[in-house]
Structure 1
Amino acid sequence: MPEPQTFVYSTVNECEIHLDLYLPAAAPASQEAPLALPVVLFFHGGGVFRGSRKSVLPELKDAALFKNWAFISADYRLLLPSTGFDILTDIAALFTFLATLPAIDTARIMVAGHSGGAYVARQAAIHGTPRPRGFFSVSGQGGHLLSPAYFTPKPYLQKKLLGTYRKYSTRSSAEFLGLKECSEFAWEWRERRGKRKAGEVPVVGGRAWLAGMAAVMGTRLDFLTGREGFSGVLREAGGGGGGVDLEALVPMAMRVLFPELMMGGEFPPSFVLHGTGDKNVGIGESEKTVKELERMGVECVFVAAENWGHGWSEEVWNRWGKDVVPFFERCISDKTEA
């Protein structure tokens, strides 16, 4: 396995935000020669609350390197203490930094993300400059953030998850929990199951606990927007039922955080992979994305993987994911900007 070169692409409030650059074996280690390689730019999963660049889809990375492409896995600031606005700032800084790497052809960037990382990849596909040439979503969030799934509490889980800590605010919790803006912990979707005792929950105060708490409390959009109570506004409006237009309740300044409200016909060709048995991110998010892309005339391949859940394995790649490589090849078959 090739060792990556690690770079700091942005520093915010003394927080260094890193990326790992993997180059194919045929490429020299030196960055002095302008190789102009296409690049797969990957964003890790973890619900946007946890994880780090150390979590990649290994088969995607290896396939990119085999094609003589570069592969980059980039950190981004995580929800609490950061918000979606900070992630947009990170995306802008990341694309500016990529332009300084002679090995990278910024006219041939393809973005990819797993789970919460697919939200970040969607934002990069919309706001990245130059615009990426292709988009790969795996079990992706961000296709339908105005779905009740994001702001409906799950009371039956609250007692189990919350422990003794029930009160929080999007501004004060980070200091209370001691959370940093980025994490070095690689969220591993292939972690061994059954390690915890029955009924045992994540340690109160950790990022895994925070992600679960936001889900069961129905407050994930509070953390994304930095506006405490926003999820409650949507909930009180009827959760999208009864003809209530939830989109109209999103303030103009916050719309940029909702990819479903920002996608247009210039969105790059997309390969969307989602399991029909996914209980973490419902397949409806991807179905809505595909429907919108088709309506706008954007090329889209949709793979609904029968009985697959939310994890990742070599089998998932071999059965459903490997076709993204020839798809990306078509996306970058010429260097004309989309």
Structure 2
Amino acid sequence: MASLEYRTFTFRTVNSSPIELDLVRDTSVPTSSVSPKTLVFFHGGGLFSGNRRSRFPGLPLQLLLQRGWTILTADHHLLPESQVEDMVNDVKHLETWILKEGRQLGLDPELIAVAGSSAGAFVSCLALASWTKLRPRAFYSLYGMLHTESDWYGTVKDESTSFAGLPVSSLLAEHFEQYFVPGNKPVWHDTTEMTDPRGRVRLFMWLLKEGKISSMITSSLNAATGKNSPSDLITSSFPPTVAIHGTADSVVPIEDSRALVAALSRAGVENQLVEVSGADHGIVPQDRYHAEIEKSVDLLEAYI
């Protein structure tokens, strides 16, 4: 049985407040089996919600932990109080921390992969495009939100639509006015749950319902990078990539991952997409799709 050890560190300080990361290891894995490989993982949440421990570990990360990997998972600034530029600064500070502190903690900077689930794949692309000294060996995109300029994120949804089983009719504008008050303090660690009708998870879904995601993210990304899409950040310097995505994803369409691998192919970067037939967002219940998820983990390990 897994026995996870979390060690928490501060990698950036903003206005005297720490932004933190966790190093996670499975202490039940025999020391002789421990790998020097590290996965730098960014959480999902649409860029508006979540934290370094939310939606963790999940089957893909469990499989890597069981194989002796170390998982490094970090918080980052969240929209709408912050902007993509703040996220870029977060990942730059994270790079500096890994290079300065990593070896003392048993991390090998030469054996690192970057991963993200949903919007975490977006943040992964920011890291891969921003890092100048750390060169990850692979990128692992889990149902990545990577085609944010598409019509899906920019059109109003019909009231009969549902997102991962949540009817959009339950998402009411008055529940989210609090997030757009001028002068709100920046947020980088959100603990609200899907069940909270006024929580940040539903804030993202309300914005998706209203077709506001595309304009908000595109303008913020452009201001930070000069690009309009995460796919525009991809160059030949990106590492080999494994993507996994459900064909019935009702939150982040599988077209996002197809756009990712198309952009990688145009840049001459090796890539593989594992399409999981009939799976919704998060590829849940993950045990049902164990074979496909394990295949994606095997492909990732092959790149390292």
TM bracket, shorter-chain basis: 0.7 to 0.9
Bigger Rg, structure 1 or 2: 1
- Counterpart residue type for residue 213 of structure 2: R
For residues 217 and 58 of structure 1, the distance between their equivalents in structure 2, rounded to whole angstroms, comes to 30
Is 1:291 aligned to 2:262, yes or no?
A: yes
Say whether residues 1:330 and 2:276 are aligned partners: no
C-alpha distance in 2 between matches for 1:278 and 1:84? 25
- CA shift in 2, pair 1:212/1:14, >3 Å: farther
Superposition pairs of residues 1-338 of structure 1, within 5 angstroms: 1-25=3-27, 26=30, 37-55=36-54, 56-99=56-99, 100-101=101-102, 102=104, 103-128=106-131, 129-142=133-146, 144-154=147-157, 156=159, 160-164=170-174, 172=181, 175=184, 180-185=186-191, 202-204=196-198, 206-224=199-217, 254-256=225-227, 258-311=229-282, 312-315=284-287, 318-332=290-304
Q: Please state whether the residue corresponding to 1:46 is helix, strand or coil.
A: coil
Q: Return closer, same or farther for 1:279/1:271 CA change in 2, 3 Å cut-off.
A: same
CA–CA distance in 1 between the matches of 2:206 and 2:171? 7
Deviation at 1:49, TM superposition (A): 0.9
* Structure-2 separation of matches of 1:173 and 1:222: 19
> Shift of residue 260 of structure 1?
1.2
SS at 1:19 equivalent: strand
Mapped to 2, the partners of 1:181 and 1:296 lie a distance apart of 35
Q: What is the alpha-carbon distance in structure 2 between the residues aligned to residue 316 and residue 92 of structure 1?
A: 37
Q: CA, structure 1 residues 296+181, in 2 after alignment: closer, same or farther (shift >3 Å)?
A: same
Q: Could you tell me how far 1:140 is from its partner in structure 2?
A: 0.6
d(CA) in 2 for partners of 1:67 and 1:167? 45
Amino acid at match of 2:188: C
User: 1:146 and 1:106, CA in 2 relative to 1: closer, same or farther beyond 3 A?
Assistant: same
User: In the alignment, residue 44 of structure 1 is paired with which amino acid?
Assistant: H
TM-score relative to the length of structure 1 = 0.75
Q: 2:164: which partner in 1?
A: none
Offset at residue 160 of structure 1 (A): 4.7
Query: Aligned-pair distance for 1:167?
Result: 6.5
Q: How much is the aligned-residue C-alpha RMSD, in angstroms?
A: 3.0
Q: 1:19·1:72 contact (CA, 8 Å) conserved in 2?
A: yes
Output the CA distance in 1 between the equivalents of 2:173 and 2:214: 22
Q: 1:43 to 1:165 in 2, by over 3 A?
A: closer
**Which residue does the alignment assign to 1:31?**
none
Which residues of structure 1 form unaligned runs of 5+?
A: 29-34, 189-195, 197-201, 228-249, 333-338
Q: Which amino acid aligns with 1:135?
A: F
Give the distance between the partners of 2:83 and 2:219, measured in 1 at CA. 6
- TM-score when normalising by structure 2: 0.82
State the Cα distance separating 1:294 from its structure 2 match.
2.0
Deviation readout 1:44-93 (Å, 9 max, x if unpaired): 11111111111223333332233332111211111121111111111111
Q: How many residues align?
A: 286
Amino acid at match of 1:207: R
User: Aligned letter for 2:250?
Assistant: K
